[in-house]
């Protein structure tokens, strides 16, 4: 059984335009599935639907075979531990009034300090924060700073540390590097890849940047106007069988 199963999902906003159209895919344990498409095609809407920030109109979203799409906030709560997110803008994801250590502790404390851990060990809060900062290659001394005292790349590492702190099964990465400079982008992608291998986490890696998706993902899906128009294993990117739209993206990539 797949870790995440998305089946025939449709979504419209109140203004009526169809944003997601018959979207289906699966994610297996430890796998990175990439989703590429141009601005406005519906990528972030899909992320918000998977995170249940937005409801879907039709279809199913299953975690290990259990439907999530029809659960209310209360019955969804146990599943929040399994699916975390890292979004485009780290400044918006971190509470400016909280020190880094408090932001890092927040997901664990929200679970009532009950998260079952395989890789991190909670002995005390200081040590736990140090383990998390170390996992994202940041010095423990950043724990007492506020977000505005960190660079963009450091802030995004903190949001990654927050996401992995409760050892979720899946992380939805929605344009996680697009607000960073080129060097920080490459470093954050390398870090994410290493963490996937080390922690066995699965990713849905969403980006408009085909080269970033290509570097991270084993399976790649191409979205256009809310529909998945092509999907293939990474090795098949340059195949003649690719959808004409994928070939357009590849031509830009060259």
Ligand X SMILES: Nc1ncnc2c1ncn2[C@@H]1O[C@H](COP(=O)(O)OP(=O)(O)OP(=O)(O)O)[C@@H](O)[C@H]1O
Contact map string, positions 6 to 45, toward ligand X, x by CB under 6 A: -------x-x---x-----------------x-xxxxxxx
Residues 168 to 187 in contact with ligand X, rule: CB under 6 A: none
Residue 227 beta carbon to ligand X: minimum distance, rounded to whole angstroms: 12
50 vs 94, beta carbon nearer ligand X: 50
H helix intervals, 1-124 = 43-50, 73-80, 90-93, 100-110
Q: For residues 37 and 221, give the distance between their C-alpha atoms in angstroms, rounded to a whole number.
A: 9
Contact 17, 42 (CB under 8 A): no
106 vs 225, beta carbon nearer ligand X: 225
156 vs 165, beta carbon nearer ligand X: 156
Residue 226 beta carbon to ligand X: minimum distance, rounded to whole angstroms: 7
Residues 66 to 125 in contact with ligand X, rule: CB under 6 A: none
Residue 162 beta carbon to ligand X: minimum distance, rounded to whole angstroms: 21
Residue 225 beta carbon to ligand X: minimum distance, rounded to whole angstroms: 9
Mapped onto helix, strand or coil, the DSSP state of residue 97 is coil
Residue 101 beta carbon to ligand X: minimum distance, rounded to whole angstroms: 31
Handedness of CA 239, 249, 33, 193 (dihedral sign): positive
Place of tokens 């994801």: 93
45 vs 154, beta carbon nearer ligand X: 45
Count CB neighbours of 184 within 10 A.
17
145 vs 208, beta carbon nearer ligand X: 208
Burial of 233 (0-12, 13-18, 19+ CB in 10 A): exposed
Q: For residues 53 and 43, give the distance between their C-alpha atoms in angstroms, rounded to a whole number.
A: 14
Residue 8 beta carbon to ligand X: minimum distance, rounded to whole angstroms: 18
Q: For residues 133 and 116, give the distance between their C-alpha atoms in angstroms, rounded to a whole number.
A: 19
133 binds ligand X (CB under 6 A): no
Q: Are strands 18-27 and 170-174 parallel, antiparallel or unpaired?
A: unpaired
Q: For ligand X, how many residues bind (rule: CB under 6 A)?
A: 12
Sole binder of ligand X in the list 208, 234, 242, 247 (CB under 6 A):
208
Residue 229 beta carbon to ligand X: minimum distance, rounded to whole angstroms: 13
Q: Which helix (H) or strand (E) holds 12?
A: strand 4-12
39 vs 72, beta carbon nearer ligand X: 39
143 vs 206, beta carbon nearer ligand X: 206
Mapped onto helix, strand or coil, the DSSP state of residue 216 is helix
Contact 173, 204 (CB under 8 A): yes
* Residues in contact with ligand X by the rule CB under 6 A: 13, 15, 19, 37, 39-45, 208
């Amino acid at each position: 059984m797949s870790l995440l199963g998305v089946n025939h999902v449709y979504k419209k906003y109140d203004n009526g335009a169809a944003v997601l159209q018959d979207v289906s895919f699966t994610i297996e344990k430890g796998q990175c599935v990439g989703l590429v498409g141009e601005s406005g095609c519906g990528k972030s809407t899909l992320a918000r639907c998977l995170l249940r920030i937005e409801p879907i109109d039709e279809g199913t979203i299953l975690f290990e075979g259990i439907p999530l799409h029809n659960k209310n906030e209360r019955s969804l709560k146990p599943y929040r531990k399994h699916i975390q997110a890292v979004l485009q803008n780290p400044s918006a994801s971190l509470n400016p009034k909280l020190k880094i250590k408090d932001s890092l502790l927040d997901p664990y404390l929200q679970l009532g300090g009950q998260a079952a851990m395989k890789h991190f060990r909670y002995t005390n809060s200081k040590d736990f924060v140090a383990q998390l900062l170390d996992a994202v290659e940041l010095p423990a001394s950043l724990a007492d700073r506020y977000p505005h005292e960190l660079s963009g790349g450091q802030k995004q590492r903190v949001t990654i540390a927050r996401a992995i702190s409760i050892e979720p099964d899946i992380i939805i990465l929605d344009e996680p590097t697009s607000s960073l400079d080129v060097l920080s982008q490459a470093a954050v992608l390398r870090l994410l890849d290493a963490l996937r291998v080390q922690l066995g986490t699965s990713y849905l890696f969403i980006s408009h940047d085909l080269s970033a998706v290509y570097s991270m993902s084993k399976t790649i899906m191409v979205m256009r106007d809310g529909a998945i128009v092509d999907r293939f294993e990474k090795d098949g990117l340059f195949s003649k069988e690719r959808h004409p739209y994928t070939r357009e993206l590849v031509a830009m990539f060259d």
